[in-house]
Structure 1
Amino acid sequence: MGKRQHTNINEAVELTQNRKNEESEETDSDYSPSQSSKNRETLRLENPQKRKKRRLQSDQPARLSNPNEQAGGDTNQIHPRSSHDIQSPSAIRLGLLRWYTGVHASRGMPWRKPYDPSQGPEERAQRAYEVWVSEIMLQQTQVATVIPYYSRWMSQFPTIHSLASATVDEVNGLWKGLGYYSRASRLLAGAKKAVANYGGRLPDNAKDMEANIPGIGRYSAGAICSIAYGERVPVLDGNVNRLLSRLLALHAPPKAKATLDILWAAASILVELDPVGSTESQDHDASATPMEQTQYPGDINQALIELGSTVCKVREPDCGSCPLRPWCRGFITAGPEGIIPEIIPDIEDACTLCEPLPEGSTITSYPMKVERKKAREELDVVNVIEWRARTNPTERHFLLVRRPEGGLLAGLYEFPTSSNISKATSRNAMAGIPNKLLAGLIVPTVLTRDTKRHGSINTDNLQIKSTQFVGDVVHVFSHIKKTYRAQWVILEGGEAPPPLRLADDGRRGKRVKNHTAENLIDGKVSTSLLPIGAMWVKLKDVGNVNMGTGVVKVWNLTRDLWERELSGA
């Protein structure tokens, strides 16, 4: 194989060198010193596209001049746009399905089942629900982590109707620890809409599903409808994107529309069947597996996802075991056997989308890397507010408020928090924050007139006994680096926790921006989320409440503090 490739390279270089000689003659003639000034001016003002064409023509042979170029050398040869088209789709499809036959059950995914064309509408709709749950859970989460969560979910919500009748607290309770909680709320919203508008069935085509079910985009709709309903629609998640970028040697801005159009087109070609009677449609052999014979779209799409996830990995891809290696242009271009340059019959066909590959490129240079935006940093003051009965200090309750149904950590509980305050906020300023928060949370009848006016808690029945700094917890979301600065607040008074109020006058869940704790203390504006639900929780029950991972870390840090104090450490 290596000898054949080097022969092709030598032939290509010879041809391009001849072309270079011809072009050099033209160039010398065009820019001869004997030219008239008029002709020189014409060339200077020529169409920019023609100048680009002329530059490409002069650059092309130089980039292909070394037939022994190895990986790590100059891999930025000019190539035709057609090199990013799928070649031999039937052969690729068959090789992919043959490989998938042997691995589809290897990771023990309970949602992965063979497609049964004899199923009726109800059975297919149930299958769509199962695939939908798995696909949403698998977003940003490893398969091994998802499996137990999926099993518990299907045990509690076996049908879309049972999910639609659930509460957000029940859904978040099952989701606890999986992260990205907005996924759970979108599943609940989607189920409610499917039951209300579609008789408890997800739409049976990707177009309607994407358009009408909350939280389902083009990828999820394609995955669900191809796997459950047998619709021939493509998928393009991160795994398939990486796989196809390497297969097509596409080194272009990954989020550009032109790049995504190429990848979606390639995925579409692979999931479609060749026309009956075509040469490729007859390219089956006697040893074809059942998957190769049926070529169900769900099998093709799942095979692409599985190959990208387990073989064509981000780092250290296992090219040696990849069934698509014979057709992988990325492997050929950046692999150990060097470059196979292509002659472009018409320079107008040159690809203008790809960016130059970095020096020392390998297969992992595809897809093109983008510089990630640095996560913005925010400081939140988290107030772990504890109420104790004055006559019975062992009776301890903690104040929790529920976040709005949309946005970050939707519907989860947290300790009263002042969000995104200035990093220059002093400890003294922080210590005053609980006064204003409590003034907004406790029923006004419990507070004196002075409390309402100045936002302070200090009555015969209720007062802040102490405010103690706990420490910092850093928690990184996909786009935010949060520092939770925790303080432990002890509130005393009365024989029962003070009654709480909810946000009213249409401001439910509204966030009011602020940047200084001093403003909060003065009562000018508030950074806190007006709670859509607030409650006192007994000490023994706090760990069972649906809270985000960062808030759980704050709780554990606070417990560690008082346990050390009790032990005298």
Structure 2
Amino acid sequence: MPAHSTSRHVIGEHRNAMQSALLVWFEGVRTARNMPWRKPFDGHATPAGRAQRAYEVWVSEIMLQQTQVATVIPYFNRWMESFPTVKDLAASDIDTVNQLWKGLGYYSRAARLLAGAKKVVEELGGRLPDNARDMQASMPGIGRYTAGAICSIAYNEQVPVLDGNVTRLLSRILALHAPPKAKATTEILWDGAEALVKDCDRAGELNQSLIELGSTVCKPRDPACGGCPVKAWCQAYRIAHNKPEADLADIEDGCTLCAPVPLEHAARAPPVTAYPMKTERKKQREELDMVHVVEWRRESERWFLLVRRPDAGLLAGLYEFPTQPNISVDEPAASAPHLLPLLAGLLIRVPDGLSAKAPKDAAGLRLAKTYSAGDVKHVFSHIIKTYRVVWAVLEGDEEGEGPPALKLEVQDPRENGGQGGKAKGKKGKVGPVKDASRKDGEETPPSAMWVRLADVEHANVGTGVMKIWKLVRALWDE
């Protein structure tokens, strides 16, 4: 790349013209994608009305993280029907929230919304903060971008936004070809976003125009430069079309951050898509889990065992079939060696058919059969999971009361090599049980539960578990 001045990476004297062009363009596309959360700013709204608007924008921004607009729209509408205000959300629970979120993915987002709503009601007077600094400092899971988006759109605060779309847009406007995660790079981009929104009396609409332009016009591939309202000030567009720029007047003003831009074959100038600088994607790690779809049956009754995942981490708070994670890739799909320790941590009594040490009064509970169902692959953003699935059928009962009794306190099978915890001597129930860590009046979902055949697909489970369920269902649906 030829030497260039650092002034290339600054929103300068054309700021006002760019603001005007962006706002005029946004007026024409505001309703194009029918986003229910996108509404004109109401300068006459009461403080309560603006706080309600902040809640709506907050929900939409969290849902839109790593998710397409078209996918989010029906989820947003259902969410607002169920939780029209932040107080309605705060009064809910994680199982209800996860059920509404089911299928949207990245479930930790739902948990953060619930935790944030409870904090707003319990500590912040029932209203989200009206400025980005306080919002970022006091709200869980809200960073600089989300705080800026909410406060500019709901409160018209002149604060910048910088998501992936705006990063790409500004990298091209400023022809910045520098390591994307470098501190100096992000500082230049934040400065550019801040310069554009500065002194703008329609800050929320200006920021929405940047996000929309990056999403629909300044796309990663095949950008529609002909329809871009700011192409006249886009340095990447100028370079791609071999338009001259001012010579570097002072060597001390030269940019030392940008890396050389690779040219395409026989190209005279780098294309607009050369910006921002590309980075190598981190390779996804691969993991193999042994999953047991444990069924208990008696005559026409069929129940299936589900275990609740921890409240933090991957698929937080969702249910799954008993799982032994990270097994060896050479592990055969044999049930008993893995099923025994899992059931020992879940059931008060272990089936006779699995252990010679099981008590004689086990009321006939036994392992009737196991069947290797095959493998299921499920891809997360950072993990490629293979689930080795075994269908295991238990028969017999305890005193005729139904499915085998569960321990009230279930140790996560991921701990201690899947050996489970000690029995508390009480029977677990299908339904919430008291947890001493909760406040009075609060309930925690059960750590494990039996679910009827017809209800499995309606439980709070992730997409990967549904793939497993369909695989096993095929064994008896054929």
Assess same fold via TM > 0.5: yes
Say if 2:230 is the partner of 1:327.
no
Q: d(CA) in 1 for partners of 2:129 and 2:339?
A: 49
Q: d(CA) in 1 for partners of 2:60 and 2:380?
A: 22
Q: Secondary structure at the match of 2:296?
A: strand
Q: d(CA) in 2 for partners of 1:98 and 1:418?
A: 57
Offset, 1:365: 1.1
Say if 2:404 is the partner of 1:404.
no
Which residue of structure 1 aligns with residue 460 of structure 2? 546
Which residue of structure 1 aligns with residue 328 of structure 2? 422
Offset, 1:405: 1.1
Which residue of structure 2 aligns with residue 362 of structure 1? 271
Q: d(CA) in 2 for partners of 1:128 and 1:510?
A: 40
Mapped contact 1:436–1:456 kept (Cα < 8 A): no
Q: Secondary structure at the match of 1:432?
A: helix
Say if 2:192 is the partner of 1:266.
yes
Offset, 1:341: 5.0
Offset, 1:458: 11
Mapped contact 2:296–2:395 kept (Cα < 8 A): yes
Q: Secondary structure at the match of 2:249?
A: coil
Q: d(CA) in 2 for partners of 1:231 and 1:366?
A: 29
Say if 2:8 is the partner of 1:83.
yes
Mapped contact 1:80–1:351 kept (Cα < 8 A): yes
Mapped contact 2:413–2:420 kept (Cα < 8 A): no
Q: d(CA) in 2 for partners of 1:509 and 1:419?
A: 11
Which residue of structure 2 aligns with residue 436 of structure 1? 341
- Paired residues, number: 446
Offset, 1:550: 0.5
1:470 counterpart letter in structure 2: A
**For each residue in 1:511-563, what CA deviation from the matched residue of structure 2 results, as whole angstroms up to 9, or x when unmatched?**
4265xxxxx6xx5999xxxx961110000111110100011000011101221
Mapped contact 2:323–2:413 kept (Cα < 8 A): no
Q: Secondary structure at the match of 2:449?
A: strand
Mapped contact 1:439–1:457 kept (Cα < 8 A): no
Which residue of structure 1 aligns with residue 381 of structure 2? 478
2:389 counterpart letter in structure 1: A
Mapped contact 2:309–2:319 kept (Cα < 8 A): yes
Aligned-pair Cα RMSD in Å = 2.2
Q: d(CA) in 2 for partners of 1:524 and 1:102?
A: 60
Q: d(CA) in 2 for partners of 1:561 and 1:396?
A: 15
Point out the structure with the larger helix share: 1
How do 1:124-523 residues align onto structure 2 when only pairs under 5 Å count? 124-273=50-199, 295-333=201-239, 335=240, 337-360=241-264, 361-389=270-298, 392=299, 394-428=300-334, 430-444=335-349, 451=355, 459=362, 461-494=364-397, 495=400, 496-503=402-409, 509=412, 511-512=414-415, 514=417
Q: d(CA) in 1 for partners of 2:209 and 2:163?
A: 13
Mapped contact 1:438–1:457 kept (Cα < 8 A): no
Which residue of structure 2 aligns with residue 533 of structure 1? 447
Larger mean Cα displacement after TM superposition, 294-303 or 395-404: 294-303
Say if 2:10 is the partner of 1:101.
no
Mapped contact 2:346–2:420 kept (Cα < 8 A): no
Which residue of structure 1 aligns with residue 430 of structure 2? none
Q: Which TM-score applies when normalising by structure 1?
A: 0.75
Which residue of structure 2 aligns with residue 280 of structure 1? none
Offset, 1:479: 0.8
Mapped contact 1:403–1:412 kept (Cα < 8 A): yes
Which residue of structure 2 aligns with residue 42 of structure 1? none
**For each residue in 1:286-336, what CA deviation from the matched residue of structure 2 results, as whole angstroms up to 9, or x when unmatched?**
xxxxxxxx7411000000000000000111100000001000001111x2x
Mapped contact 2:325–2:414 kept (Cα < 8 A): no
- Which structure has more relative contact order (CA 8 Å, sep 6+)? It is 1
Mapped contact 1:439–1:456 kept (Cα < 8 A): no
Say if 2:44 is the partner of 1:118.
yes
- After superposition, the Cα gap between the structure-2 partners of 1:214 and 1:439, relative to the gap in structure 1 and judged at 3 Å, is same
Offset, 1:503: 3.1
Q: Secondary structure at the match of 1:355?
A: coil
Mapped contact 1:330–1:363 kept (Cα < 8 A): yes
Which residue of structure 2 aligns with residue 567 of structure 1? none
1:299 counterpart letter in structure 2: E
**For each residue in 1:451-479, what CA deviation from the matched residue of structure 2 results, as whole angstroms up to 9, or x when unmatched?**
5x968999551111111111111111111
Q: d(CA) in 1 for partners of 2:360 and 2:392?
A: 12
Which residue of structure 1 aligns with residue 472 of structure 2? 558
Q: Secondary structure at the match of 1:239?
A: helix
Q: d(CA) in 2 for partners of 1:109 and 1:408?
A: 29
- After superposition, the Cα gap between the structure-2 partners of 1:525 and 1:169, relative to the gap in structure 1 and judged at 3 Å, is closer
Mapped contact 1:134–1:150 kept (Cα < 8 A): yes
1:344 counterpart letter in structure 2: L
Mapped contact 1:469–1:486 kept (Cα < 8 A): yes
- After superposition, the Cα gap between the structure-2 partners of 1:503 and 1:546, relative to the gap in structure 1 and judged at 3 Å, is same
Q: Which TM-score applies when normalising by structure 2?
A: 0.89
Mapped contact 1:383–1:416 kept (Cα < 8 A): yes
1:440 counterpart letter in structure 2: G
Which residue of structure 1 aligns with residue 426 of structure 2? none
Offset, 1:101: 0.8
Q: d(CA) in 2 for partners of 1:436 and 1:560?
A: 27
Offset, 1:114: 0.7
Q: d(CA) in 2 for partners of 1:412 and 1:229?
A: 35
Larger mean Cα displacement after TM superposition, 159-168 or 457-466: 457-466
